[in-house]
Amino acid sequence: MLGREPRTPFTIKTFCPDGTPQVLMADPVFNEEGVWKPFPAFLWLVCPRLKTLVAELEQQGQVREFSQKLASDDDFKEKFLHGQNEIARLRVSMAEKIYPGELPEYIREILSTTTIAGSRDFKGVKCLHSHLAQELAFHNNPIGAEVLEKIKNCSREDCCGKYNSTRSDL
């Protein structure tokens, strides 16, 4: 469902009603060839239906619109920052349990100063897929909540596991 072999262990955090994996949660750190690396974008939207619909929103300019909303709506920005801080604390906590020994400061810094999309720019929006994954998994991302409101969550009738992204009725 990722389109490649995963680089880090993961669990399925949420499922679509038909049983299709919806959001994967990977370890926020991984060892690659003896070197430990941070993995801040540790939530992955994998439902074929949602991925297609979110990509369409991105093509329609929604990333730019959400960036503008973060700049102009203080309440929205505060909710967004709160959710990003919660995710940062979770990533660091998970990494401390995975990493053998004391978590290096460079990894701690990356995991605690980036958005769910792995960006250090908290004023801009990088990837609606990541924001929706955070909302589905933890219900604390206002960007993801608005995306979900636009595209609606999956239902049993959507048959996400058999979803064809070339459908003409989107």
Per-residue b or e along 29-55, where b marks 16 or more CB atoms closer than 10 Å to that residue's CB = bbeeeeebebbbbbbbbbbbbbbbbbe
Report the C-alpha gap between 4 and 17 in whole angstroms: 24
Q: Which of 133, 44, 45, 37 is nearest to 83 (CA)?
A: 133
Q: Domains of the chain: which residue ranges?
A: 10-158
157 contacts: CB under 8 Å, gap ≥ 6 = none
**Looking at the predicted structure, is the pLDDT value of residue 169 above 50?**
no
pTM for the predicted model, two decimal places: 0.91
Higher-confidence position of 166 and 78: 78
Kindly report, residue by residue over 48-62, the tens digit of the pLDDT.
Answer: 999 999 999 999 999
CA-wise closest residue to 94 among 44, 86, 129, 122: 86
Using the Cα atoms of residue 41, residue 45, residue 50 and residue 53 in order, give the sign of their dihedral: positive
pLDDT of 166 over the 60 cut: no
Residue 27 in this model has a pLDDT that exceeds 60? yes
pLDDT confidence of 124, banded at 50, 70, 90?
confident
pLDDT in tens, 127-156: 999 999 999 999 999 999 999 999 999 999
